[in-house]
């Protein structure tokens, strides 16, 4: 299949791209490589895919020798004209949108970035799907859409009308936009409500990366809500397994669109078990071999105390079964983190010589 993946240099996008390439799908990847976090991490992910920084040119298709079934564009989803050209040349069977401005806390100080990327960019993709008659559109939503919902575990049958942050509001808006395009233009849309994804190549602003880095630097880690937090931590391999199962079923489902076929949906992708943040930190300390100095702080604006995914729909319909627990997931991340920073140090030494 010819699949467009947006945000292919991002955390989840990179892992999904690599998986689909190894399954011999023809993948076109788009990423604008913005500087929300260290761009070198994004270049490192791309290098794993055979795409190297020195060869990247804006709005130019880049091929590579490692994966001859990958085409990469450094491009922005807000460039509707160029995006339309990519769709015209790509003749895609499916779009998987993982591009977004991420982060709850960043949305408090930089709200415009979320409107530009998560609303305007999302709209441009839907329009391209409509214009180019692409009938399968899978996209990243977020567990944050549940916001201040008090019912646990979070189920897709619950209302999601009380977002606690602008980031969450834009993700809920994506779901509503997808619903309208599905209804009006007969596009099968599936929103993926991710729950606290972690693992190798993760984002520096997320808990696991941030805590690991801070502990190794012998600095105190900041723990909000005085440590009374729980998260449905989900390892990246389990997330990718879930997405691939959804993609495979969408590919197999070639029946004509009808509302009766429920071809506009959202699904939870999580581990299905909330873990106290303190237990997560303990696993990090064990793998690093250093006891963290802890600074306890009040709850941050836009945050929620607990997330917990009801993944029964994914289990029943897609045979989804997460298998990586916190102990193994954190072990794998810390091993990667040490290796990645070792390579970064070697690179800095070479540049200084």
DSSP string for 39-75: HHHHHHHHHHTT--GGG--BT--B--SS-TTEEEEE-
Q: What is the pLDDT of residues 317-326, one digit of tens each?
A: 999 999 999 9
Q: How much is the pLDDT for 120?
A: 97
Q: How much is the pLDDT for 65?
A: 76
Q: How much is the pLDDT for 255?
A: 53
The percent of residues above 90 in pLDDT, for the chain, comes to: 84
Q: What is the pLDDT of residues 265-311, one digit of tens each?
A: 999 999 999 999 999 999 999 999 999 999 999 998 888 899 999 99
Cα separation values, 37 from 33, 97, 236, Å: 10, 20, 19
The CB density around residue 13, as the number of other CB atoms within 10 Å, is 24
Q: How much is the pLDDT for 238?
A: 98
- What integer is the mean pLDDT of 19-39? 96
Report residue 108's pLDDT band, with 50, 70 and 90 as the boundaries: confident
- What integer is the mean pLDDT of 253-267? 67
Q: How much is the pLDDT for 62?
A: 82
Question: CA 50 to CA 318: how far, in whole Å?
Answer: 31
Instruction: For 68, list phi and psi in degrees, rounded to 5.
Output: -75, 0
Q: What is the pLDDT of residues 213-247, one digit of tens each?
A: 999 999 999 999 999 999 999 999 999 999 999 99
Q: How much is the pLDDT for 262?
A: 56
> Does position 15 have pLDDT exceeding 80, yes or no?
yes
Q: How much is the pLDDT for 344?
A: 64
Name the β-bridge partners of 309: 154
Tokens of 32: 């604008």
| All residues at 6 or more sequence positions from 241 whose CB lies less than 8 Å from its CB, including other chains | 320, 322
Question: CA 143 to CA 39: how far, in whole Å?
Answer: 26
Q: What is the 3-state secondary structure (H, E, C) of 77-122?
A: CCCHHHHHHHHHHHCCCEEEECCCCCCCCHHHHCHHHHHHHHHHHH
> Tokens 């929103």 appear where?
191
Q: How much is the pLDDT for 254?
A: 64
Dihedral sign of CA atoms 115, 200, 213, 43 in order: negative
- What integer is the mean pLDDT of 115-124? 97
Between 26 and 260, the more confident residue is 26
> Does position 93 have pLDDT exceeding 70, yes or no?
yes
Q: How much is the pLDDT for 253?
A: 77
> Does position 95 have pLDDT exceeding 80, yes or no?
yes
Report residue 352's pLDDT band, with 50, 70 and 90 as the boundaries: very low
**Eight-class DSSP state of 208:** H
> Does position 345 have pLDDT exceeding 60, yes or no?
no
The percent of residues above 70 in pLDDT, for the chain, comes to: 94
> Does position 258 have pLDDT exceeding 80, yes or no?
no
Exposure pattern of 96-123 as b/e (b: 16+ CB <10 Å)?
Answer: bbbbbbbbbebbeeebebbeebbbebbb
- What integer is the mean pLDDT of 255-259? 50
> Tokens 């160029």 appear where?
82
Q: What is the pLDDT of residues 47-59, one digit of tens each?
A: 999 999 999 999 8
Residues known to be catalytic: 167
Dihedral sign of CA atoms 296, 301, 303, 304 in order: positive
List the single range of 148-162, 287-301, 338-352 with lowest mean pLDDT: 338-352
Q: How much is the pLDDT for 260?
A: 44
Instruction: For 176, list phi and psi in degrees, rounded to 5.
Output: -70, -40
- CA 303: distance to chain centroid? 18
- What integer is the mean pLDDT of 89-104? 94
Alpha helices in the chain (DSSP H): 11-22, 39-48, 80-90, 106-109, 111-114, 122-131, 166-185, 207-216, 236-252, 277-288, 312-318, 326-352
Domains delineated in the chain = 2-198+235-270+309-323 (3.40.50.720)
Q: How much is the pLDDT for 175?
A: 98
């Amino acid at each position: 299949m010819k699949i467009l993946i947006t945000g292919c240099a991002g955390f989840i996008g990179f892992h999904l791209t690599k998986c689909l390439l190894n399954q011999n799908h023809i993948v076109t990847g788009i990423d604008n490589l913005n500087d929300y976090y260290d761009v070198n991490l994004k270049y490192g992910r791309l290098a794993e895919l055979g795409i190297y920084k020195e060869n990247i040119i804006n709005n130019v298709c880049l091929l590579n020798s490692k994966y001859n079934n990958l085409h990469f564009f450094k491009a922005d989803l807000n460039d509707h004209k160029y995006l339309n050209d990519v769709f015209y040349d790509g003749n895609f069977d499916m779009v998987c949108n993982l591009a977004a401005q991420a982060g709850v806390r960043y949305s408090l100080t930089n709200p415009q970035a979320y409107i530009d990327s998560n609303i305007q960019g999302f709209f441009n993709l839907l329009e391209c799907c409509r214009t180019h008659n692409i009938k399968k559109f899978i996209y990243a939503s977020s567990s944050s859409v549940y916001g201040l919902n008090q019912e646990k575990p979070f189920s897709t049958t619950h209302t999601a009308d009380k977002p606690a942050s602008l980031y969450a509001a834009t993700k809920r808006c994506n779901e509503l936009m997808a619903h309208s395009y599905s209804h009006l233009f007969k596009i099968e849309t599936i929103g993926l409500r991710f729950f606290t994804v972690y693992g190798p190549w993760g984002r520096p602003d997320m808990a696991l990366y941030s805590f690991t880095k801070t502990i190794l630097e012998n600095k105190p880690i900041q723990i909000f809500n005085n440590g009374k937090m729980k998260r449905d931590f989900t390892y990246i391999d389990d997330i990718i397994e879930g997405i691939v199962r959804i993609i495979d079923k969408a590919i197999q489902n070639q029946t004509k669109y009808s509302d009766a076929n429920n071809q506009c949906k959202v699904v939870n992708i999580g581990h299905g078990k909330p873990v106290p943040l303190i237990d997560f930190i303990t696993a990090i300390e064990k793998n690093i071999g250093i006891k963290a100095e802890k600074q306890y702080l009040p709850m941050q604006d836009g945050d929620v105390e607990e997330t917990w995914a009801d993944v029964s729909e994914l289990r029943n319909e897609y045979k989804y079964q997460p298998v990586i627990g916190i102990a193994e997931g954190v072990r794998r991340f810390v091993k990667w983190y040490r290796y990645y920073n070792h390579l970064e140090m070697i690179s800095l030494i070479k540049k200084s010589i």
